[in-house]
Amino acid sequence: MNRATPSRFRGSAPLLLTLLLSTILLMAGCQASSQPAPAVTATPATAIMVQPEPDAPPYLDPTLPIAQRVDDLLGRMTLAEKIGQMTQVEKNSIAPPDITGLFIGSLLSGGGGYPTPNTPENWLAMVDGFQENALQTRLGIPLIYGVDAVHGHNNVKGATIFPHQVGLGATRDPDLVRRIGQATAAEMAGTGIPWNFAPVLAVVQDIRWGRTYESYGEDAQLVSQLGAAFLQGLQGDNLAAPETVLATPKHYVGDGGVTWGSSATYAIDQGDLQVDEATLRAVHLPPYEAAIAAGARSIMVSFSSWNGTKLHADRYLLTDVLKGELGFDGFLVSDWQAIDQIPGDYYADVVTAINAGLDMIMVPYDYRRFISTLTEAVEKGDVPMARIDDAVRRILRVKFELGLFERPLADPALLAQVGSESHGDLAAEAVRQSLVLLKNDNAALPLDRETPVIFVAGPAADDIGIQSGGWTIEWQGQAGPITPGTTILDGIQAAVSPVALVHYDRSARFDDLTDAGGTPAVADVGIAVVGEHPYAEGQGDSASLAVSEADLTTVQRLRERSKTLVVVLISGRPLIITGILDDADALVAAWLPGSEGGAVADVLFGDFPFTGKLPFTWPRTAAQLPFDFANLPEIGCDAPLFPYGYGLDARDTQPLDLPECGDLEADAAAATQ
């Protein structure tokens, strides 16, 4: 079955010619005040390359060692040019002439930060337009543009949306994750973006956190292995290659272990990691050690705190441990406006963050204030010039490693990578491997293609936005047909034989389906697709992890109208499912499958086996959270509902045997009071 999304974008010839011509004219008109401007040439393959003039300074000579190029360029820079390199601005907040006038070193798109209309071609034109402003500066230092491509190039309509990291954690497949990294990098390169704020390396200890789905799991070894694989896929063997991008392991360090109720802003997001250093090093630091060993060149610092000290102010963890002990010689970037959360006034925030070891600050709005404040701090001696030079040296080194000075503009030929058929096939493969079979009584699965009547219910069955979750087109995600792809209902309809009848009703009423005598029709199989609606950081924190009343009603209605009931759970983490477990003959954790949700049906109907294993321990009630993993019971009502690593094969026909534990739903509700 072809899993390619319906619409795949290709480059627009008039747009590409316009980009090439405008770039050449702009660069030809540039006049540097102290050395010749680099010349722009278009190769026969349409890749835009910068060729230095014969008398160009050493930093423009690609044959020289990067260290020599960095030294030469750094020695030519004024304080204003250096601080500009340390400044990252949100793209909707920048006045393009300020990129040139203030020597801005980086721009970003936050979640939902797309051009209008949201097409790959417009992304390419937007990013290259910003870059052209940077190339007009005295020294012609290119911008580095960043995005949160956390499960594919997820801000771009028409890009391939892969399963979120929680689903990839269930696959236990580093090679698959590496290939997804490669595909994501290729699609980013197609829109001219060289920097990805991913992967998340949080080792999540409390699944009530709204960013749980951005993590590979609760085990440090699993997170280390898969995080390094994704990083290697993004960066490849040569960071300067056209289809590779810079990875950014985040959020350093311990954001997955913060304490419920410790956040000043949310329930748990951006909270306080309240553990000793031995625990921090044993649980939360290993993924960063693995990432550095795999070639990490930028790392994003966490909003969270460690025992009351904001990570953005923690010189010990940023400089002594990360840069010193672990030998990280890339650059550190702050999170969104995160230095503002450091206690004290803004001047103190800037001084503290830079002296703690931050190299680039995601401002993201009032960049003039940041630049003037840091300039004042240097002039007063509160931030040493040596610290500025160290930060800028780190940033420039990575820009040279990326080949930005030789290829500052996008290669339009790479536009064909965005949402390509091969990437859709890879996403479908990931969906199939991520599914975890939790229950399969009476050999309910796999389903027979010739099942006479199938009822499908639940809003998530036919909704790409719900099945993709947060960080999809919009920051918090959004229900509806927000991007091309295949839904779970599409997959079911394509999988059945012509003799089977598939009926869909979001709320499982099926009022118009009766027999000749007016009796409500009963399906041979009912498939309820229920679960969480999209959310992202902060707004996704949940004390109850409860399945909604509407979804519980849908399951109950479909149970009454079906001989066999299969429940497919769409969620970014384990939910409290005691209210639906007894009703279901089979229950599948499908996580957040992304744009190729139709591939879920490939496993339901037996084309592929269930191979997924739980990346998180599944609670019986919310009252059990957070788990004490060192003292976790294996049996009885105090034990988890399903242990870490659990996952059935469809050949397992033994009925699920759970202890009688009273009113678990009431217990869960009481835990939230």
- Count CA within 13 A, CB hemisphere, residue 28: 7
Cα first-last separation, the chain: 48
In sequence order, the 6+-apart residues with CB closer than 8 A to the CB of 257 are 203, 204, 205, 206, 273, 275, 279, 283, 284
Q: How far is it, in rounded angstroms, from Cα 209 to Cα 301?
A: 18
- Report how far residue 65's alpha carbon sits from residue 63's, in angstroms, rounded to the nearest whole number: 7
Contact 153, 146 (CB under 8 A): no
- CA–CA distances in Å: residue 130 to residues 92, 97, 103, 134: 11, 9, 12, 7
Q: Which secondary structure element, helix H or strand E, spans residue 586, and what is its range?
A: strand 586-591
C-alpha–C-alpha distance, residues 403 and 127, integer Å: 16
Pick left, alpha or beta for residue 575 (phi over 0 → left; psi -120 to 50 → alpha; otherwise beta).
beta
527 membership: H or E segment, kind and range: strand 523-531
State both tokens at 533. Answer: 């609606």
Give SS3 for 146. Answer: strand
E strands along 60-184, which residues? 87-90, 106-109, 144-147
Q: Please count the CA atoms within 13 angstroms of the CA of 564 that sit on its side-chain side.
A: 19
Q: Which residues are catalytic?
A: 335, 537
Closest CA to 332 of 344, 319, 348, 349: 319
- Residues 22-53: b if buried by 16+ CB within 10 A, e if exposed: ebeeebeebeeeebbbbebebeeebbbbbebe
Contact 244, 206 (CB under 8 A): no
The H or E element containing residue 466 is: helix 464-468
Of 562, 565, 557, 561, give the one whose Cα is nearest residue 444. Answer: 565
